[in-house]
Structure formats: C-alpha cells, structure tokens
C-alpha cells in the first residue's frame, strides 16, 4: 500500500509539473481518517488516492535544498518543411528579439518568421531566457502559448513558425508523424539521449526542494523519487531518469 501511494503521488506530481517548484515537503494528518502529503511551491491540489491529498502552497522563502529527481531539456523547433537545419545561438537571439524577421536571412525561404514564445510562469521560458541571456521583455512574439503540446501544434500548423518546447515531447511527436523538426544546439542533436549523457547544453534538473532534512513519509517519498522504481514513470512523461 505504501509503495502504491508513493508511486501514484510521484506520477501525479510529475505529470502536472508540480515537482519542478516544490519548496517544502512534509507529512501531516488533518484528522483521524484523512492523510495529507504537503508540498509547498505552487497552487495545485491533486487527489491521488481515496482520503489522501497532495496540497501545494506558495512559500518560496522556505527553499533550502534542492534534490534532483530527473532531467529535462528544451529545444528550438520549426516546421518539418522548413529547409533551415540549424541556427546559431546568435541567430536564435536575433529572431526572438526582432533582429532577424525573414527566413531568407538564415538560409530559408523568403517568408516572414512567426515567433512563438511561452507564457509567463512557464519553466521552459525561464530556461530559454537564462540560456540565451535574455529578458522576456526583449522578446517580440507573434504568438504566446502555454504548454508544450500547444507550442508543437502551433509550429506544426505554420510552416513559417519557430518555437521551443521540451525535447521529450517534441521528439515523441516528431517520431510519430507530427510535422516538426528539432534543431540542434551548438551542433548537438536535440535528443533525450544527449540530455541524459550531459552533452546537450540546453537542459535542467527537475528538483524536489525542501525546507529542512526530510523525515518519515517525506524522506521515503524523496528516496522513492530518486530510485530506479520510478524510471518508467519518468520516461512516460518524456523526461530523463537519473542514472542511479
């Protein structure tokens, strides 16, 4: 029962992205029958077993230590019919800041570039901005989207669009017929294998973060989240499991 609880909690949190921003992890009882695993970091409540809840509360000041549980990478995507095979970091920056506005300026067709950006609060936006040393105010988007699938659908439906999404989702969709192309970064192919071996530069750890040394169910959950027992769940969510 305990293993099933931990497994279902991990799946629920990873699927909703909650694990990316948790800043406190503890366990408490609300009464004699209900149990709650309390994770501080965002504002999602996920019911995952009868009488068991995961509660999320915003308290960023409580962050004291980060514990990696998986890895993710993001990549620039274009339509599969776009003849452009690679873009330098400088070209990506110029496209997103308005310095390059037509695909012919980077070896593509004579067509205006549709710049697709992520909405505020998206982790992929934060990583993109950090890697390219940009502020969100520097970017001049034509389209602002939310999740990865929305970004992929936008680019797949517009031969002149450019966007960026999580590698795992994009790689899966491209393999299964969605008309997008993943561009390399600094000559390194955008694949989950390259995220896993550390060669892909645009990647990040997915962390659980705690206020203090975890004990009890919280400690058990973290140990479980870092074990091989969750590798199948991590892969199902298109992330890269830890090597251990």
Query: pLDDT, tens digit, for every residue of 1-49?
Result: 456 666 666 665 555 554 433 333 333 333 333 333 333 333 233 333 3
Distance CA 125, CA 121 (A): 7
Query: Which of 59-88 are b and which e, b meaning 16 or more Cβ less than 10 Å from the residue's Cβ?
Result: eeebbeeebebbbbbbbbbbbeebebeebe
Average pLDDT rounded to a whole number, residues 119-148: 91
Enumerate residues 6+ apart whose C-beta is below 8 A from 136. 117, 120, 125, 129
CA R_g for the chain: 20
Locate the DSSP E strands across the chain.
Answer: 24-29, 35-40, 45-49, 52-57, 65-79, 114-118, 143-145, 161-166, 180-182, 203-210, 240-241
Percent of the chain with pLDDT over 70: 71
Residue 218 vs residues 10, 51, 92: alpha-carbon distances, Å: 12, 18, 42
Question: What are the Cα distances from residue 80, in Å, to 52, 87, 95, 158, 180?
Answer: 45, 15, 18, 10, 4
Q: Residue 243 — very low, low, confident or very high, per pLDDT cuts 50/70/90?
A: low
Predicted pLDDT of residue 45: 33
- Residue 11 has what pLDDT? 62
Between 90 and 241, the more confident residue is: 90
Nearest C-alpha neighbor of 52 from the set 67, 30, 74, 68: 30
Mean per-residue pLDDT of the chain: 77
CA distance 157 to 55: 37
What is the pLDDT, as a whole number, of residue 124? 86
Taking domain 71-196, whether its CATH number is 3.40.190.10 is answered by yes
| CA atoms within 13 Å, Cβ hemisphere of 156 | 15
> Where along the chain do its domains lie?
2-64+211-241, 71-196
| Residue 122 confidence class, pLDDT cut points 50, 70, 90 | confident
CB 130 within 8 A of CB 166: no
The label of the residue with tokens 């279902």 reads 8
Tens digits of per-residue pLDDT, 136-192?
Answer: 999 999 999 988 899 999 999 999 999 999 999 999 999 999 999 999 999 999 999
Residue 187 confidence (pLDDT): 92
Pick the residue with more confidence: 233 or 178? 178
Angle formed by the axes of helices 167-175 and 148-156, nearest 10°:
40
For residue 214, count other CB atoms closer than 10 A to its CB: 20
């Amino acid at each position: 029962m305990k293993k099933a609880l931990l497994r279902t909690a991990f799946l629920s949190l990873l699927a909703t992205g909650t694990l990316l921003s948790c800043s406190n992890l503890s366990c408490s009882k609300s009464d004699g029958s209900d149990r709650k695993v309390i994770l501080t970091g965002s504002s999602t409540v996920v019911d995952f077993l009868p009488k068991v809840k995961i509660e999320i509360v915003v308290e960023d000041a409580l962050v004291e230590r980060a514990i990696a549980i998986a890895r993710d990478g993001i990549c620039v995507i274009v339509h599969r019919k776009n003849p452009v095979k690679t873009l330098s970091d400088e070209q990506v920056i110029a496209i997103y800041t308005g310095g390059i506005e037509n695909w012919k300026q980077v070896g593509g067709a004579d067509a205006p570039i549709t710049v697709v950006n992520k909405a505020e609060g998206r982790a992929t936006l934060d990583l993109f901005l950090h890697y390219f040393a940009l502020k969100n105010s520097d970017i001049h988007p034509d389209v602002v989207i939310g999740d990865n699938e929305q970004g992929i659908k936008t680019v797949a439906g517009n031969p002149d669009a450019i966007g960026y999404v999580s590698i795992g989702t994009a790689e899966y969709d491209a393999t299964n017929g969605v008309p997008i192309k993943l561009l390399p970064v600094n000559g390194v192919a955008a694949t989950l294998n390259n995220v896993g071996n550390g060669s892909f530069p645009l990647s990040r750890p997915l962390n659980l973060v705690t206020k203090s040394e975890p004990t009890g169910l919280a400690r058990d959950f973290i140990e479980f989240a870092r074990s091989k027992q969750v590798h199948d769940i991590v892969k199902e969510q298109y992330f890269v499991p830890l090597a251990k």
